[in-house]
């Protein structure tokens, strides 16, 4: 294959919007207005120039659209896949409509009535009246009466109204021509771009208000770019469906804390702050993961029971959300030199929950590292946290307990350092254990309700200052 001359690359000259509606679109239209939408995502992608020098937004109407296969995007600005209805409706399916909050509601808990517990975990809560109208949050979990968002909602109060919604637009990994479960990928190429006025902008591929689904068992890859997700739900019902990131920088429901990717949500309806806390969720009960990565970073808000952090040298930084293990499963399982930061925003551990019913809530193994700045970690039975084989846990804001069994086990060379402050322990059984070259620096951070809570033959350091 010869070298393509730069003069042959077609470059964008202005920002553009393309509209796609499966219900009434036509691929013979130009797709440049809501009155002349295209029918397929493939037709919209075919209209993109080789090099996106300007912001491009693909607006999608309700329906299911096949994902591109091994599509590479050369960009110095941002490309949006936005399921906003493309001019018809608002792109949402209402699950609970026009509910009024009850007395006692505040920024963290919305008091309601009549819900089936956790039926809407991972869905989107939208405030529809009052000072916080328009604000959206992913639902961490809920009871029949209380809804817990992944991030507080300033300005919300009773009797403000809200609704519970999910995206009405899906991107689906279909079967290939040969029927194989082939590898499909989004790939971006491009670095930080400097404009004539001296300002800079990171190119990014942004997915908003969408479901990601698969027709058969699939792995969908996202590589070599910055990606942002707002109100994106992964649904692998009936198939084995993995998302995989390689050499990618991923933001879910948030902008970067250092401002490098400011206003990623700007083109979305409503103010950017209305979308912060609407991250990436996966609540189906099938096999798969949303945390498979190689040399990649994922930061933001996540609600999922698919919490295996596979691959190597990945970073997961959670600002809020819920990792809940399925029956007998680990909630957060990290290995092979991956690094996790658990940091409930505003030092609020209630926005970040990791819980297991009959397995380990957290297991760190084989050189993995975890920093707990603010999080609640619970388990019903079994060991709540295990740190093994040269893995390290450092906790300064760890809350929760094991209802029975060990709270923390640092063994086989694993090291746990507790910096004091909040309580973390267990209601029954052993409190903590260090054995087989394990190291536990306790620093008075545990409470023990049964006995002295000490077991094992490893190194246990109990600081008194």
46-69 tens-digit pLDDT: 999 888 888 999 999 999 999 877
How distant, in Å, are the alpha carbons of 67, 122, 173, 251, 353 from that of 302? 22, 8, 22, 10, 10
| Backbone dihedral region for residue 207 (phi beyond 0: left; psi -120 to 50: alpha; all else: beta) | beta
Beta strand 439-441 with 459-461 is parallel
pLDDT (average), residues 262-277: 83
pLDDT at position 465: 26
What does the alpha-carbon distance between residue 409 and residue 387 come to, in Å, rounded to a whole number?
6
DSSP letter, residue 384: S
* DSSP per residue, 289-325: -S-EEES-EEEEEEEES--EEBSSS-EEEEEEEEEEP
How distant, in Å, are the alpha carbons of 94, 138, 371, 387 from that of 432? 46, 34, 18, 11
- Binning the chain into helix, strand and coil, the percentages to the nearest 5 are 5, 45, 50
Bridge partners (DSSP) of residue 185 are 221
**Top-confidence residue, 267 or 442:** 267
- Residue 36's CB is within 10 A of a number of other CB atoms, namely 13
Place 423 in a pLDDT band, splitting at 50, 70 and 90: low
Residue 274 near residue 135 (C-beta atoms within 8 A): yes
Place 82 in a pLDDT band, splitting at 50, 70 and 90: very high
Residue 77 near residue 55 (C-beta atoms within 8 A): yes
- Tell me the per-residue pLDDT of 172-226, one tens digit each, with 9 for 90 and over: 987 654 444 455 667 766 544 444 445 556 788 999 999 998 887 777 888 888 8
Residue 121 near residue 93 (C-beta atoms within 8 A): no
- Tell me the per-residue pLDDT of 121-156, one tens digit each, with 9 for 90 and over: 999 999 999 999 999 999 999 999 999 999 888 889
CA 366 to chain CA mean position, Å: 24
Decide: helix, strand or coil at residue 93.
strand
pLDDT at position 41: 94
- The helix or strand, by DSSP H or E, that contains position 46, with its residue range, turns out to be helix 41-46
Place 7 in a pLDDT band, splitting at 50, 70 and 90: low
Bridge partners (DSSP) of residue 183 are 219
**Top-confidence residue, 313 or 135:** 135
pLDDT at position 363: 84
What does the alpha-carbon distance between residue 139 and residue 147 come to, in Å, rounded to a whole number?
7
- The helix or strand, by DSSP H or E, that contains position 43, with its residue range, turns out to be helix 41-46
CA 434 to chain CA mean position, Å: 33
């Amino acid at each position: 294959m010869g070298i393509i001359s730069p003069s042959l690359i077609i470059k964008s000259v202005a920002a553009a919007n393309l509209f796609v509606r499966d219900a009434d679109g036509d691929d013979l239209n130009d797709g440049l207005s809501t009155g002349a939408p295209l029918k397929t995502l493939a037709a919209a992608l075919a209209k993109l120039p080789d090099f996106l020098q300007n912001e491009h937004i693909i607006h999608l109407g309700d329906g299911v659209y096949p994902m591109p296969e091994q599509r590479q995007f050369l960009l110095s600005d941002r490309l949006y896949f936005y399921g906003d209805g493309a001019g018809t409706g608002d792109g949402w399916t209402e699950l609970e409509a026009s509910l009024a909050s009850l007395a006692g509601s505040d920024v963290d808990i919305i008091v309601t009535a009549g819900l089936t517990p956790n039926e809407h975990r991972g869905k989107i809560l939208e405030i529809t009246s009052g000072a916080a109208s328009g604000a959206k949050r992913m639902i961490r979990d809920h009871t029949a009466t209380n809804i817990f968002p992944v991030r507080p909602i300033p300005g919300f109060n009773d009797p403000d109204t809200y609704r519970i919604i999910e995206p009405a637009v899906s991107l689906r990994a279909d079967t290939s021509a040969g029927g194989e479960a082939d590898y499909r990928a989004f790939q971006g190429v491009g670095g930080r771009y400097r404009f004539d006025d001296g300002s800079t902008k990171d190119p990014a591929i942004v997915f908003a208000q969408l479901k990601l689904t698969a027709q058969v068992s699939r792995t969908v890859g996202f590589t070599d770019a910055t990606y942002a997700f707002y109100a994106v739900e992964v649904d692998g019902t009936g198939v084995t469906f993995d998302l995989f990131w390689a050499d990618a920088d991923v933001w879910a429901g948030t902008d970067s804390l250092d401002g490098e990717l400011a206003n990623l949500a700007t083109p979305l309806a409503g103010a950017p702050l209305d979308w912060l806390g609407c991250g990436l969720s996966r609540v189906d009960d099938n096999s798969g993961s949303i945390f498979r990565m190689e040399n990649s970073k994922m930061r933001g808000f996540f609600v999922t029971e698919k919490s295996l952090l596979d691959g190597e040298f990945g970073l997961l930084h959670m600002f809020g959300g819920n990792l809940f293990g399925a029956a007998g499963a680990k909630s957060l399982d990290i290995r092979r030199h991956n690094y996790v930061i658990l940091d409930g925003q505003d030092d609020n551990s209630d926005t970040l929950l990791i819980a297991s019913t009959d397995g380990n809530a957290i297991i760190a193994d084989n050189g993995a590292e975890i920093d707990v700045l603010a999080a609640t970690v619970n388990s019903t039975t079994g060991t709540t946290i295990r740190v093994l084989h040269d893995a390290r846990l450092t906790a300064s804001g760890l809350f929760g307990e094991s209802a029975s069994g060990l709270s923390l086990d640092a063994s086989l060379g694993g090291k746990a350092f507790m910096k004091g402050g909040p309580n973390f322990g267990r209601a029954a059984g052993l409190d903590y254990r260090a054995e087989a070259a394990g190291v536990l620096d306790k620093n008075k951070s545990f409470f023990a309700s049964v006995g002295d809570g000490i077991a094992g033959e490893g190194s246990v350091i109990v600081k008194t200052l």
